[in-house]
Amino acid sequence: MAIKFFSTKARLLGFSAIVLGLMLPTTISQLSGNALELGDGRTFFDKPPRLIRSVATFKSPNTPSEYLFTILLPEDAGEPLQAVSIVQKPNLEWIRFEWSKSRAFLGEGLSGGSSIPLAKVESEPTNPSEITIFFEEAVAPGNKVTVSIRARSNPSFGGVYHFGVTAFSIGENSPGLYLGSGRLHFTSRSER
C-alpha cells in the first residue's frame, strides 16, 4: 500500500515539474525591461552584463603587460555600467599592478575603440591585487566595454591565473554583480 501511494505522489511530482518547465521560459520572457529596485533606492541590472573575453599582451619577460577584460552590456540591461572591479584570485604569485595606468574603451580587441574617460581608479589597501575602475560617465546598455589594467611584469611562475570581474550599476552603494573569472595563461620564465 505504501509503495502504491509513493508511486502516485512521484508521478504527480514529475507531472508538476514538466508543467513548470514548460511555463517558466514564457514567464521569464514576459518580465519587464525596467531595472530592478532593491527597495532602498538602489537599482540592479535587469539583464546581467557578461564577461566575454580576457587576454594579456606579452612582448618580453621584462616589459609591462596589459590585462584586458571585455564586458558585454545587453541592450535590455536596464541600468548603465558605472564601475568594474578586478580581483586576482590566490595563486603561486601575486601580480603587481600599476593601477594608475588603467584605461577603458568601447569595443574589444587590443587596438580598442573610443576611449572612456575614467573618474578614478582605486586599489583596495588590504588587497593590492583588487582594482576598481570608475567611469566618468556610465556606459549605456548595448555596448561592449574593455577594461585594461597594467601589470608591472608577467608572473615568474607559469600556469593559469584567474581574475574575478564584478560589474556595478549606476548609483550609490551598488551591490555589484560578479560576472565570473577571466582566465589568463602564462608560461614560466624558464619556458620562455
45/117 same-domain check: yes
98/187 same-domain check: yes
Q: Name the residue type at position 39.
A: G
Q: Three cell numbers at 130? A: 583588487
CATH number of the domain encompassing residue 79: 2.60.40.1290
41/26 same-domain check: no
Q: What angle do CA 97, 166, 63 make, to 5 degrees?
A: 20
Question: Based on the number of CB atoms within 10 Å of its own CB, is 174 exposed (0-12), middle (13-18) or buried (19 or more)?
Answer: buried
Q: Which of 65-79, 102-116, 177-191 has the highest mean pLDDT?
A: 65-79
At residue 172 the predicted structure's pLDDT band, cuts being 50, 70 and 90, is confident
pLDDT reported for residue 76: 93
Summary mean pLDDT of the chain = 78
- What is the tally of structural domains in the chain? 2
Q: Name the residue type at position 120.
A: K
Is the distance from CB of 167 to CB of 49 less than 8 angstroms? yes
Residue 167 has pLDDT above 90, yes or no: yes
At residue 189 the predicted structure's pLDDT band, cuts being 50, 70 and 90, is low
26/89 same-domain check: no
Q: Three cell numbers at 172? A: 550609490
117/81 same-domain check: yes
At residue 62 the predicted structure's pLDDT band, cuts being 50, 70 and 90, is low
9/50 same-domain check: no
Query: pLDDT for 85-114, tens place per residue?
Result: 999 998 888 888 888 899 999 998 777 789
Length of the chain counted residue by residue = 192
State the DSSP H helix or E strand holding residue 71, giving kind and residue range, or none if neither: strand 65-73
Q: Which residue has the higher pLDDT, 62 or 36?
A: 62
Q: How far apart are CA 88 and CA 90, in angstroms?
A: 7
Query: Could you give the C-alpha distances from 141 to 75, 105, 107, in angstroms and in order?
Result: 5, 14, 13
CA atoms within 13 A on the CB side of 174: 24
12/50 same-domain check: no
pLDDT reported for residue 81: 95
User: Can you give the residue range of the structural domain that contains 16?
Assistant: 1-30
pLDDT reported for residue 63: 66
Q: Which of 33-42, 79-88, 89-98, 126-135 has the lowest mean pLDDT?
A: 33-42
131/179 same-domain check: yes
